[in-house]
Amino acid sequence: MPIETKRYMILFEGNEYLIIMPNIYSTEKFEKEFTYCGSDLGATYTPENYNVPEGSYSTDPYNGAVRVSEMKQMVKTLHDNQISVIMDVVYNHVYSASDFCVNQIVPGYFSRVNEDGTYSNGSDCGNDTASERSMVRKYIVDSVKYWADEYHIDGFRFDLVGLIDTETINEVVTEVHKTHPDVIFYGEGWTMDTAVTKDGYKMTTQPNSTDVPGFAFFSDTLRDALKGHVFYTTRKGYVSGAADLADTVKGCFLGQADDWCTTPSQSINYASCHDNMTLLDRITKSTPGASKEDHIRMNNLSAAIYMTAQGIPFLQAGEEMLRTKIDASGDFVENSYNSPDSVNSIKWDTLEDETYQNVYHYYKGLIAFRKAHAALRLTNADDVNANITSVDDLDENVLAFRINGGVNGETSDGIFVIFNPNSAETSVALPDGAWDVCVDADHAGTEALTTVSGSVSVEPISAMVLVKKKS
């Protein structure tokens, strides 16, 4: 039975991590053979048992031993191919609090309850778990440790972690790192409306990021600055011509979003993920009069920004080949969790087109460049502030940064990054010396495209990244 999955790659400290998320959809065979709570079979975030692999992916879903064995085999095979695995975890809620097994044993203990006696539903997906209660916290900590110990999971992406208290998250990180120090933790730190059952507890939200130093958050600050606010789909972003977002992009490039993030190690930088429109669709929606060429330039400029920014870059699979989600009526699909393969699938045959190939190779080159230059991967604000200088006196909306060589193991003598979102070419003065252009409007990689000095012209709606030649 075909089960669609969604795949994502993130880069962290030069390593690639694969995330695989299910998209269970309704088919006659699926409805006949598998039973899910609720009427919406498109909803995948309906946790019932946090410690059991999803059976529909196994060769024998009714045999628990097969589920476990094949899950472990899958992880090992990925590891054997130098691919790390991040697990999407949904400890913030259960599908139905009244039916959840722990609440059957101790009624109401596992869940938060509103003043009127109903169960809290801050996630809008079910009923919130009461992570602030000691045994619920222990359950979550033990569960994450189990997946790390038994399945050798390399990282955990927490769905709507803003519903989980900071004390729980800190204990999760501490306990797992005792035996697995390289496991990474990050999630969605949005502020949610939940009925916390004890006073004095902070939730794991972006504004509370300093309270969970070992945990990273998706930077919706950068996402919305790049392409426009996610919930206002006709609003432009920095890459598509908005005139008031350069300062926001600047702060995010330095790994210090001014409204919550103070250190790059906590910033997941991205332009698109499984939620909402694809990057290309969002750009196209907000700039209907622009040419396809300009849409591609906006797409590539977005990638160049988050791939060179301080923090942890996150890439949705398909973005590198201009993935789009269009339904049978020709409309862009924003929330495609229950859409068919015709909408959600990655159209691999697009790579037969040179235009799509060029974008693919551009992304590939950006990844290679980032991995080759350690100065793009600083982990604390002190190093950023001491080694990255923002350039002044540029054309409106143009940004440029000089990054010192030698920092964090960087082998070059320096890096110079320029972003030009304008529809006109811009000229930027370079620091002294000869500079190799490794990224421009059309190409990206580790090899020099040309060598320049004095000043450089940057094409409209494009990035340029230069590396100082060794003396």
Reference 252, options 240, 237, 270; nearest CA is 270
- Tell me the residue ranges of DSSP E strands in 182-245: 184-187, 216-218
**Which entry of 132, 188, 220, 281 is annotated as an active-site residue?**
188
Active site residue 352: no
DSSP string, 425-471: -EEEEPPSS-EEEEE-SS-BSSS-SEEE-SEEEE-SSEEEEEEEPP-
Return the sign of the alpha-carbon dihedral for residues 371, 372, 373, 374. positive
Amino acid occupying residue 128? D
Provide the 10 A C-beta neighbour count for residue 355.
Answer: 14
188 part of the active site: yes
Yes or no: say if 253 and 384 are a contact pair by the CB < 8 Å rule: no
Classify the C-alpha dihedral 458-220-247-256 as positive or negative. Answer: negative
Burial (Cβ within 10 Å: 0-12, 13-18, ≥19) of residue 392: exposed
Here the tokens at position 299 are: 């797409």
Q: Where are the beta strands (DSSP E) in 2-130?
A: 4-12, 15-23, 84-89, 93-94, 127-128
Structure tokens given for 260: 């919550």
Look up tokens 């201009």; give the residue.
322
Candidates 88, 128, 154, 159; catalytic one: 159
Burial 243-254 (b: 16+ CB within 10 A, else e): eebbebbbbbbb
DSSP 261-296: --SGGGEEE-S--SSSS-HHHHHHHH-TTS-HHHHH
Q: How far apart, in whole angstroms, are the C-alpha atoms of residue 221 and residue 219? A: 5
Residues with Cβ within 8 Å of 62's Cβ and at least 6 positions away in sequence, in order, are 55
Burial bucket for residue 338 (CB in 10 Å: 0-12, 13-18, 19+): middle
Dist. CA 293–CA 183, nearest whole Å: 40
Helix (H) or strand (E) segment spanning residue 312: strand 312-316
Active site residues: 159, 188
